[in-house]
Structure 1
Amino acid sequence: MNLWTVLIIIFVFWGILYVLFGRKEEEEEEEGLAVDIFVIMWRTKKLLGFIDKIAQKYKRFWKVYGTIGIIVGFGGMVFVFYMLIKSALIAIKAKAQVAGVQLVIPGVTIPLWYGLIGLIVVMVVHELSHGVVARAEDLPLKSVGLVLFFVIPGAFVEPDEEELKKVPLVKRLRVYAAGSMANIVTALLALMLLNYALAPVLQPAGVEIVQFDPKGPAINYLHEGDIIIGIDGHQIKTVEDFLNFMNTTKPGQLITLEVLRNDEKITVKVPLGENPNNPGRGYLGVYPSQHIVSTIRHEGIVLPLAFALYWIYILNLGIGLMNLFPLIPLDGGRMLDETLKEYLPENVAKPISFAFIGIGVLLLAINLIPAIRNLIG
């Protein structure tokens, strides 16, 4: 089943769902299930007591946490803006063949189950953190809930926006910054568990191909899931080994790969293309991932746990940072917009805010176009 067939099925599903259960304009549910165009939303007030209990018991801690979040938030905003400019320039130089931002679609661009686990953790810690910090600042919450937007699952905590507008800037910034702060902290915790608890019992055992550049030569010779363990007689154990070897190659060079395919060792010869980011260097056109094996028994437990922690780390760090990008409705955009309005006259703040929105949309478009093009082939 190709991507277009899947998209047609999804559109038909949403059309039928909206016709049967779609919410009327005058309806605004405070609790329960609501269906709108490409959105299913479930609200409840039952978890508000739990959030309030956590917030009130450690109120001082959450305020300090939120303040640190503001510093991390603005620092992350600058970092993400810089990285997107850098990757946009690379994409332009490579004539939009290299994606600076990857779409996060479980089962398509990331592993299905590990991706779903990672995304669930991202959503839960992000929204819970928003809610807890809001209650620590004595801001009321309307509801919490789950949402499905098109095919993307999500969670939310719904503060009282009118009350939020009335409090001092620092309190608003704490609430906005809390979500990404939680994601970054979670990413660091996952990384620590990987490095100190699991890394000692894991060892690198080659480079797994997880995706192809459709314009690269490898797509004609290799399969997704192939594990490269050697190139031209050189042992390849890590992604670093693979990249270091590729940096010694030239366009047109014929290389011999030792590959594990379905636990069978095979040899594959591939003529290299030219690296779009580094002219004069050879290019295989694969997206490599570290293949690891366990050095102890119970590999069926150790490896899934390691992969789950890896994707929890990657997705929390990546999504947490992207959420700080200064583009409304992202938290970073709201932080910047509120700060500009606080310290600058409206006739100055508004043009600056619009300029960031315009530049932000342009940067995202430049970075996403190659990813979308690769996805639809």
Structure 2
Amino acid sequence: MAWGVILGVTKALKLDKHGFEIKPYSLTYKNAQVQTVLTKVLSRTRRGIRVFADVSVVAGFIMMGFGFWFLIDNVTKFFDKPEEFSELTVLIPGVTLTSSSAILYFLLSIPIVLVIHEGAHGIVATLEKIRIKTGGFAIFIAMFAGFVEPDDEEFNKAKKISKLRVIGAGATSNVIFALALGAILLTNPFFAIIVPEPIRSAFYEIPQGVNVLSIMQGSGAEKAGLQTNDIITSINNITIVTPFDFTKVKLAPGSTASVIVLRDGQKITHQVEIMPSPEDPTKGLIGITRDNSVSYKPVYNFIEWKSAELSMFLLWLWMISFFIGIINMLPLPILDGGKFIHSIIDKKLSDVMVNRTMWAIYGFTFALFGLNIALSYLKSGWFTI
């Protein structure tokens, strides 16, 4: 529906006369004045951009290595430690993004991330004296892309190190932006959900568990002796710290779960018979209403976060910026990582061997990425956000 509105407005305003290219499946905007803007910015920050460009080459290798490590380690966890497996999906509005709030945060974040990413490509290309013909953005129904279009002849003639600087700059700028934003968000309780240890313990007071607000009558929780204001710390040996940890626990109706709670400072273990969920009889319930609020407390709380909406938007912005940076450095045909590897091996091997090597790398990367998504489907089905 949104795509239909975009096409209708674009045609009604005759935007094709102002740099827009309209097709049934895409909308593209190109601006030939990007080079002028980038030159002005570069004239004021040349020394800093030079340092950034050099860092981008090293960061490109690091981000690519981290991406491969994460995907391989994640597959290993699926078989070795399934409770630690991270489920992956491709974010597509209306398909995998279905809640209105998630779609809104996604749509607000993407333009910011794209401007940072493509701006970094463009300004480093200008530093390396590679002309930028046009810059702009494209929408492919529900997918977004930004681009700067360097002069192909000048780019191909550029030194190898210059190419690597230009290619690595986009992803590096996203990750640096995410790190800067993350430093601010360390004062936000929502951010603790995704911060790994030991950073989390250094910046947040860790909650003891999840508070029980009420007990369902006739439930296994009531029969086992759970009480209101108990703090659940463990279910079937899975540590419970936040409400999100409940998703790690698989409860089959009719089975018995070992639930550890804190009551008046003492640990008590209950054997709870799992009841079927009224909405889905195949899913099990303990029989409680739990506190779903985020109970982490920042150690450095000099920023007062009053708006949950702002917190969630910045959390989405951090997430998209960081992972777009990392994923963009994976060697796939349409991503920066593919161009990065191609620039390294180009002219060191014959054209035939370069092509064969690149397609072998593409195939391995695609299979690894696809395996992570497929295993996520096997674990939880086709999940949406």
When normalised by structure 1's length, the TM-score is: 0.66
1:67 corresponds to which residue? 54
User: 1:368 is paired with a residue of what secondary structure?
Assistant: helix
Aligned-partner Cα distance in 2 for 1:323–1:103: 13
Paired position in structure 2 for 1:234: 232
Pick from 76, 85, 90 the counterpart of residue 103 of structure 1: 90
CA distance in 2, matches of 1:314, 1:177: 19
**1:184/1:256 CA distance change after superposition, 3 Å:** same
The equivalent of 2:319 in structure 1 is 314
Which one of 109, 119, 125 corresponds to residue 118 of structure 1?
109
Is the CA contact 2:30–2:135 (under 8 Å) kept in the aligned structure 1? yes
Point out where structure 1 has 5 or more consecutive residues left out of the alignment. 1-8, 22-28, 209-220, 222-229, 259-268, 274-281
Q: Which amino acid aligns with 1:234?
A: I
Pairing 1:271–2:274 present: yes
Task: Name the SS of the counterpart of 1:147 in structure 2.
Answer: strand
Show the 5 A alignment for 1:197-216: none
Q: 1:127 aligns with which of 101, 118, 130?
A: 118
C-alpha distance after superposition, 1:161-217 (max 9, x if no partner): 221111001101111000000000000011111125888x99888999xxxxxxxxx
Shift of 1:134: 0.8
Displacement of 1:310: 1.8
* Secondary structure, counterpart of 2:130 in structure 1: coil
Q: Among all aligned residue pairs of Structure 1 and Structure 2, give the percentage whose two residues are the same amino acid.
A: 21
2:157 aligned to 166, 188, 191, which one?
A: 166
Task: Decide whether aligned partners of structure 1 residues 333 and 272 sit closer, same or farther in structure 2, where only a CA change above 3 A counts.
Answer: farther
Would the aligned equivalents of 1:99 and 1:368 in 2 still touch at CA under 8 Å? Answer: no
The answer on whether the counterparts of 1:73 and 1:181 sit within 8 Å (CA) in structure 2 is: yes
The aligned counterpart of 1:82 is 69
Question: Which consecutive unaligned segments of at least 5 residues does structure 2 have?
Answer: 192-202, 211-218, 220-227, 262-271, 277-284, 287-291
- The CA distance in 2 between the partners of 1:108 and 1:231, in whole Å, is 34
Partner of 1:153: 144
Aligned partner (choices 32, 40, 56) of residue 45 of structure 1? 32
Q: 1:300 Cα shift?
A: 4.6
Taking structure 2 as the reference length, the TM-score comes to 0.65
Partner of 1:226: none
**Which aligned pairs between 1:16-55 and structure 2 lie closer than 5 A?**
32-55=19-42
In the other structure, the counterpart of 2:345 is 340
Partner SS, residue 332 of structure 2: coil
Q: From the superposition, tell whether residues 305 and 161 of structure 1 become closer, same or farther in structure 2 (CA, over 3 Å).
A: same
- Cα distance in 2 for partners of 1:289, 1:117 equals 25
**Segment of structure 1 superposing worse, 73-82 or 85-94:** 85-94
Match for 1:374 among 368, 378, 382?
382
Q: Is the 8 A contact 1:84 1:364 kept in 2?
A: yes
Contact 2:38–2:126 (8 Å) recurs in 1: yes
Letter in 1 for 2:184: L
> How many angstroms does 1:127 deviate by?
0.7
d(CA) in 2 for partners of 1:101, 1:314: 13
SS in 2 for 1:111: helix
**Could you tell which deviates more after superposition, 351-360 or 114-123?**
114-123
**Given that residues 91 and 100 in structure 1 are in contact (C-alpha distance below 8 angstroms), is that contact kept between their aligned partners in structure 2?**
no
1:227 equivalent in structure 2 = none
Rounded to whole Å, the distance in 2 between the matches of 1:81 and 1:254 is: 37
Cα deviation for residue 316 of structure 1 reads 1.0
The SS at the match of 1:241 is coil
Structure 2: distance between partners of 1:318 and 1:270: 41
Aligned residue type for 1:40: L
Separation in structure 2 between the aligned mates of residue 327 and residue 113 of structure 1, nearest angstrom = 28
Partners in 2 of 1:270 and 1:33 — Cα distance?
Answer: 62
Q: Is the 8 A contact 2:109 2:317 kept in 1?
A: yes
Structure 1 contact 141–160 (Cα < 8 Å) conserved: yes
RMSD: 4.6
CA-to-aligned-CA distance 1:77-129 (integer Å, 9 cap, x gap):
1121122123234557899xx76422223542782232223222211100111
Q: Deviations over 1:64-89 (max 9, x none)?
A: 21111110111111121122123234
State the distance in 1 between where 2:103 and 2:248 align.
Answer: 32
Aligned residue pair count: 312
SS state at 1:374 partner? coil
Equivalent in 123, 136, 160 of residue 127 of structure 2: 136
